[in-house]
Structure 1
């Protein structure tokens, strides 16, 4: 063996001895600490005679000086909004959410009429899960059933991916995609995933 190997063996043995010595020192300290904790003259709660039991008692409650708020008299009665005052808040909103739906866009060069959308709606009724079709009206997505327009350049078709019955089968998603692609091809439009 070379001098280097002997020196490394000696260094390793010294390191192991140092760790073992440190471990023994820690054991002694822990033993002393545990003995000191259990050596004290603590009173045994189970062997002492029962002291008089004290139940918690509420003291006197302060008098209630607060006053309840009152509405007072109504000076003005708000008139109900007329049919022309409903504005944008009454407009139907989007029902499609990309978090729970698989969404396909249909982008057409020529406006797609309501009559052209009917075959798509009929084909989508075969799906067991909810399917929605929306058209872009004044920069807002509106369901085609509730839309004030009869034609759209952009349509959004969505299939709900999960319900209380569970997730949608891959075959149904594939059938949905084929239906939308076929509809777009029949209109010379482009179908893309959102």
Structure 2
């Protein structure tokens, strides 16, 4: 044999030996990780009979969740007259009770306080919200080694397009504190919780959406050699349907209209003066909102005509009326807030010499207002029984 052949044989033997040693090292390392978890108090999902062994072959980008508007409730008292909800409400009409739909679901992975200290805006991730498993399907990941934000960056983007709100939180490796996971604040975590909301105003969580969610969790767990916990799917899907049915019963929007006499026009500057005197502020959506200290809208005032208000056009705009809107499940304060809106609507009607009317232009008297109050009381009783208080974080999440 030549020197070249002998050298090649020697190099091949060294490579084979290196691969064998590396495999033995990886095997011992994985055994140490597995032993550490088997000795802990946490249940091993791989041995849990309740774990879901199915793995979907569907992928996030293959299917766009179908929007299914649910049939919303309609009040039918003798007085006032209520309007049948429809899927595309236009604020130029005069709704008294209707469900407020949005063209796109508001999917928010993290929620940060409106006003934060300057140093937290740039240097500190937000403190994690408490995981609300009563309205969410919650999966967990726990790895033998650190999970960094970059490891799950792609999944963060994919889940954002899932069609239902997804919330990520992680237990920091050094501090042990739970914090929001965001690409803006890279972190190192020993455990991660991912919650998928069961229902919102677009409807309940579908089986396809849940399969895609679990598929993504399973894939990232395999990539990171992490232990995962995905609860059974069928009970979660049943809870989603029940929750959506309940939300349909209480998801209503109450409107009070102030219209001019005989088609006369009203100057928008006077409307602005009345709204701002009551503490309302013009927002980007073209309506005035009364906000509480947490920035949550209590009720709003919109132009009865089709053109929304703006800082520029309001100086020379005239209109035939305005509509006060009260989003029942989202507005904090319950009947007290509704009474505040009624009082302001009456003041505006008096100042502008207009009429407070329902959808059919029938004047709203005290008896009609009392009927609405009773219906609100019934709704709030149902919500409290399900521990979903109007204006609470749970309600804001569900009715988004």
Where relative contact order (Cα < 8 A, 6+ residues apart) is larger, the structure is 1
Structure with the greater alpha carbon radius of gyration: 1
TM-score in terms of structure 2 length: 0.25
Superposition TM-score, scaled by structure 1 size: 0.49
